[in-house]
Structure 1
Amino acid sequence: MEITQTAKENKEKILPNQKTTLEETDPELLEIIDNFIFDETQQHNTLTYRTTTLITLAALITNQSQQLYMKILEGAIDNGIKPIEIKEVLYQTIPYAGLSKVYDFIDVTNQVLDEKGVDVPLPGQSTTNRNNRKEKGYQIQTQYFGKENIDAMKENAPKDQEHLYDFLESYCFGDFYTRTGLDDKDREIITFSIIASLRGCENQLRGHTGGNLSVGNTKEDLISAVTVLLPYNGFPRTLNALAIINEICDAQ
């Protein structure tokens, strides 16, 4: 196999001491994907290893890629990514990809953590309660997307649909975005990566492209994110995301 030296070195760092049956069954395919994932895309990635790993885990959950998730997860723990950060990626994915896509990955993650000698449950990261979660969620929404935009969205909601926007405020933002373990920049680029990995969510991706800019992530960061996720998401979703990045960022 003609796998580049750079690809070999990066793969060993990201997936230390891990083997795949593709070495025996599909060596030509392995050459292609290893060179693409661990060399070519990395040449255009300005994100840290930590951020790259967190968004990759989020995309693999969203795409229901359990075997690849386990491999990246094991490498992440071996390379010093904190268990709390990994768990928070799981939790952050729930309101966007849905519990049905995340549920099995919680068990997988706990199994890997146990094998690595990490005790669960991990320390709690919640900072809200049933009384203040809606208020705190609203604060984060307005911080990310602007008070005028959030108020207009709520005011324009039909009366029989208002509860869905209340859920967005209290559940999505109040229960999850207020948690510690990840900062605002982490949560928004992870959310961007989740939505970019879904299908038919371009309007939501527009909103969270703007949200990323509001918390300090850059156009370069978002281009790097879709670049390193391209092998997992494919070209159609990547090019859709890239078009939205250009549309929103260039309008700022």
Structure 2
Amino acid sequence: MNRFEKSREKFQQLFGDGVSPTHSTDPDLQDILNHFIFGEIFYQGNLDDKIRELITLAVLTTNQTLPQLKAHVSAALNVGLTPVEIKEAVYQCAPYIGFPKTLNAIHEVNEVFKAKNIVLPIESQKNVDEDSRFDKGLAVQVEIFGDVIAKMRENASANQKHMQDYLSAFCFGDFYTRGGLDLKTRELLTLCIISALGGAEGQVKAHVQGNKNVGNDKETLITAITHCLPYMGFPRTLNALACVNEIIPEH
């Protein structure tokens, strides 16, 4: 198949027989979009459509492109993602984009779920309580990043130690320990989220190493960041790829 045939097939798989309103007002732009995203990007690299849609949901949430997010919630269900997986991909954004933007996205997710008669709330994926969230979060943090975490905690000044505690208990304890998505998927989504933010190259580099540590190889990272390209543009994509190449050089 050529990219035009691929794009038609992929678009129908994701969205059914729906047609974007832009087709009637801006057909040239919509054709370029469809042929690039659904005829090329979706076929680059080694990720399946479920992971691709999780990445798309996370990046659209980060960018607050809510109409497109709403469309991709339906697409995510169409490729076989569960309501739990969809919710967890959006929840995973919260430590990096803040709660207001996450809540905006969750509102769109819930609107789709209600229209499809998916009962809310969905089952809880919580695996920590007040007594365990710090210890379990720190354990996940160390699993991802290794000995550097102990050094970060030791080097934190007294008036900023609370930030290290929040990282362990909140970011990793409250979110990374949740069910629904495995550690490799959460860490891959985090890389895409902070890449989409822009201006967070220090954290991008740290999470490239974290992805490597949990078993996501360089080709997986390149594919994931490439998949973000249509949603975040070339500058942030190229910056993220530069971080990948710095941490995992070509042989």
Question: What is the TM-score with the length of structure 1 in the denominator?
Answer: 0.96
Deviation string for 1:67-123 (max 9, x for gaps)? 111111112113321000001111111011111211111111111111112101111
Query: How many pairs does the alignment contain?
Result: 250
Aligned-residue RMSD, C-alpha: 1.5
Write the distance in 2 (CA, Å) between the matches of 1:193 and 1:14: 21
The residue aligned with 2:133 is: 133
What's the secondary structure of 2:238's corresponding residue?
helix
The residue aligned with 1:183 is: 182
Write the distance in 2 (CA, Å) between the matches of 1:33 and 1:151: 46
The residue aligned with 2:193 is: 194
Write the distance in 2 (CA, Å) between the matches of 1:120 and 1:251: 47
The residue aligned with 1:245 is: 244
Write the distance in 2 (CA, Å) between the matches of 1:18 and 1:203: 41
The residue aligned with 1:56 is: 56
The residue aligned with 1:150 is: 149
Write the distance in 1 (CA, Å) between the matches of 2:132 and 2:75: 38
The residue aligned with 2:160 is: 161
User: Residue 182 of structure 1: CA displacement?
Assistant: 0.5
The residue aligned with 1:34 is: 34
User: Residue 43 of structure 1: CA displacement?
Assistant: 3.2
Moved over 3 A (4+): none
User: Residue 45 of structure 1: CA displacement?
Assistant: 2.8
Write the distance in 2 (CA, Å) between the matches of 1:31 and 1:64: 23
Retained in 2: the 8 A contact 1:128–1:175?
Answer: yes
Write the distance in 2 (CA, Å) between the matches of 1:226 and 1:29: 23
User: Residue 42 of structure 1: CA displacement?
Assistant: 2.5
- Which amino acid in the other structure matches residue 215 of structure 2? G
Structural mapping, 1:7-156, within 5 Å: 7-146=7-146, 148-156=147-155
Write the distance in 1 (CA, Å) between the matches of 2:228 and 2:207: 17
User: Residue 7 of structure 1: CA displacement?
Assistant: 0.8
User: Residue 17 of structure 1: CA displacement?
Assistant: 2.1
- Which amino acid in the other structure matches residue 160 of structure 1? N
Write the distance in 1 (CA, Å) between the matches of 2:7 and 2:189: 25
Write the distance in 2 (CA, Å) between the matches of 1:169 and 1:133: 8
Retained in 1: the 8 A contact 2:53–2:75?
Answer: no
User: Residue 49 of structure 1: CA displacement?
Assistant: 0.7
Write the distance in 2 (CA, Å) between the matches of 1:183 and 1:69: 22
Question: What is the TM-score with the length of structure 2 in the denominator?
Answer: 0.96
Which range moved further: 9-18 or 219-228? 9-18
User: Residue 251 of structure 1: CA displacement?
Assistant: 8.2
Deviation string for 1:15-52 (max 9, x for gaps)? 22222111111011111111110112233231011100
Residue segments in structure 2 that go unaligned for 5+ positions in a row:
none
User: Residue 232 of structure 1: CA displacement?
Assistant: 0.6
What's the secondary structure of 2:39's corresponding residue?
helix
Write the distance in 2 (CA, Å) between the matches of 1:95 and 1:82: 22
Write the distance in 2 (CA, Å) between the matches of 1:124 and 1:6: 38
Which range moved further: 36-45 or 59-68? 36-45
Write the distance in 1 (CA, Å) between the matches of 2:21 and 2:42: 24
Retained in 2: the 8 A contact 1:18–1:71?
Answer: no
Which range moved further: 4-13 or 52-61? 4-13
Retained in 1: the 8 A contact 2:54–2:89?
Answer: yes
- Which amino acid in the other structure matches residue 109 of structure 2? T
Which range moved further: 70-79 or 152-161? 70-79
Matched, 1:218 2:214: no
Residue segments in structure 1 that go unaligned for 5+ positions in a row:
none
The residue aligned with 1:203 is: 202
Retained in 2: the 8 A contact 1:45–1:228?
Answer: no
